[in-house]
Amino acid sequence: MLYPKDVAEYRYQDIVVKPMSLLLGAEVDNVDLKANLTDLQEIEILQALHQYKVCFFRGQNISARRQVELVKIFSDKLGITSDSEQKKKSSKDGIFVHPFLPQKKGQENIWPVGSSVGYATTGRPLRSVSDKSVDSPRVDRGTGSWLRPPYSGTSANVWHADNTFLREPSSFTILQAKRLPEFGGDTCFADMGQAYADLSAEVKMKLRGLRVVHDWRQAFPYFKRTCTLDEYRSLEKLYPPVLHPVVRKHPVTGQNVLYVNRAFSTRLENGDRNMFNFLADKASVPEYQIRFKWQNVGDIAMWDNRVLQHYAVNDYIGEQRLMEHTASLGEKPIFGN
């Protein structure tokens, strides 16, 4: 059985949950995220998050302040706190602050993803990797199309979970659409719990106790060109490569999750490149995926970053797409099996 019984049997009274597939993705209705949520609504939203791994809320149009507040509310409910040195250094008010990406002006817990036209930021500038003076990411894309123009330094069209280069990667993410192209710009999600469940017994045995290196420098090498060498060295010191379990146990559902992604994972501890590629490509299997079509500005996705990977499809050439991204702090991944 994939889940502990209680997760599969969650029922909802105060919110309406409309599943998009058997195990992955649900639209959540009958909730206004702008208004104060009842305790039961908060609990049920988290239930839906754990049951379906990503929840979508249409046309919410919440303020930046409210978006941050919601991350805090759900973090508190999950007992996530800034209880480590690294978390203290990469957070404000108990919510993750991205150490490399530019921040929304006036709200440092939010970072923009996508178009920078007319968008006020502080921190490091958005840089285009099509600028020949800047290093390209060294990511092995697997089946993705990272290099498809126009490439923006914050494009996310590679399968990844957010911030897995941290010792305690973000537990969940809340993303709101601010600017959408007429067509395209969907976000795909892949269930890495199901990806693990479908591995053969032989492969599962090989993965027991195995760790994988995660390193931000693979995805963000261009920061060498937007900061001084001293700043770069201090970032390397603050965020050294980390070793996470290849199979992570979800702290709430107990589910085993395949925890290797193309953006930040660089190699298996045992150096097995073939196995690394085999595992890293699992996110691109359609049976593990759903595809979310953003309809309107103000649509929100909230995903469980401990079990999913996601991919922002770069098929809106010449048009603008802008998302505002917030993430929680998280917990140190522990071994599954």
The smaller minimum CB distance to Fe ion, of residues 12 and 146, is found at: 146
The smaller minimum CB distance to Fe ion, of residues 44 and 162, is found at: 162
Residues 125-164 close enough to bind Fe ion by CB under 5 A: 156, 162
Query: Smallest distance from the beta carbon of 155 to Fe ion, in angstroms?
Result: 10
Could you give the angle at the alpha carbon of 117 between the alpha carbons of 113 and 119, nearest 5°?
70
Rg (CA), the chain: 19
Query: Smallest distance from the beta carbon of 96 to Fe ion, in angstroms?
Result: 12
Estimate the crossing angle of helix 64-78 against helix 39-52, to 10 degrees: 80
The smaller minimum CB distance to Fe ion, of residues 139 and 156, is found at: 156
Which residues neighbour 230 within 8 Å (Cβ) at sequence distance 6 or greater? Answer: none
Tokens of 7: 């997760």
The smaller minimum CB distance to Fe ion, of residues 255 and 305, is found at: 305
The smaller minimum CB distance to Fe ion, of residues 101 and 195, is found at: 101
Query: Smallest distance from the beta carbon of 322 to Fe ion, in angstroms?
Result: 14
Residues 30-89 close enough to bind Fe ion by CB under 5 A: none
Query: Smallest distance from the beta carbon of 311 to Fe ion, in angstroms?
Result: 9
d(CA 231, CA 305): 28
Query: Smallest distance from the beta carbon of 310 to Fe ion, in angstroms?
Result: 6
The smaller minimum CB distance to Fe ion, of residues 156 and 329, is found at: 156
The smaller minimum CB distance to Fe ion, of residues 42 and 162, is found at: 162
Ramachandran angles phi, psi of 97, nearest 5° = -120, 125
Query: Smallest distance from the beta carbon of 160 to Fe ion, in angstroms?
Result: 6
Query: Smallest distance from the beta carbon of 262 to Fe ion, in angstroms?
Result: 12
Query: Smallest distance from the beta carbon of 22 to Fe ion, in angstroms?
Result: 24
Residues 161-180 close enough to bind Fe ion by CB under 5 A: 162
Question: What order of strands is seen across the sheet that includes strand 242-245?
Answer: 242-245, 211-214, 265-268
* HSE, side-chain direction, 13 A CA sphere, residue 55: 24
The smaller minimum CB distance to Fe ion, of residues 162 and 331, is found at: 162
Site string for Fe ion, 257-286 (x = CB under 5 A): ------------------------------
The smaller minimum CB distance to Fe ion, of residues 45 and 323, is found at: 323
Helix residue ranges, H only, 95-251 = 192-197, 201-207, 216-219, 229-238
Is the distance from CB of 249 to CB of 256 less than 8 angstroms? yes
3-class secondary-structure state, position 87: helix
Residues 10-29 close enough to bind Fe ion by CB under 5 A: none
| Cβ-count burial 226-258 (b if 16+ within 10 Å, e if not) | beeeeebeebeeebeebebbbbbbbbbbebbbb
**Greatest distance between any 2 Cα atoms in the chain:** 55
Q: How many residues make contact with Fe ion (CB under 5 A)?
A: 2
Question: What order of strands is seen across the sheet that includes strand 54-57?
Answer: 16-19, 26-29, 54-57, 300-304, 172-179, 322-327, 111-114
Nearest Cα neighbor of 132 from 118, 149, 155, 145 is 149
Query: Smallest distance from the beta carbon of 112 to Fe ion, in angstroms?
Result: 12
Binding site for Fe ion (CB under 5 A): 156, 162
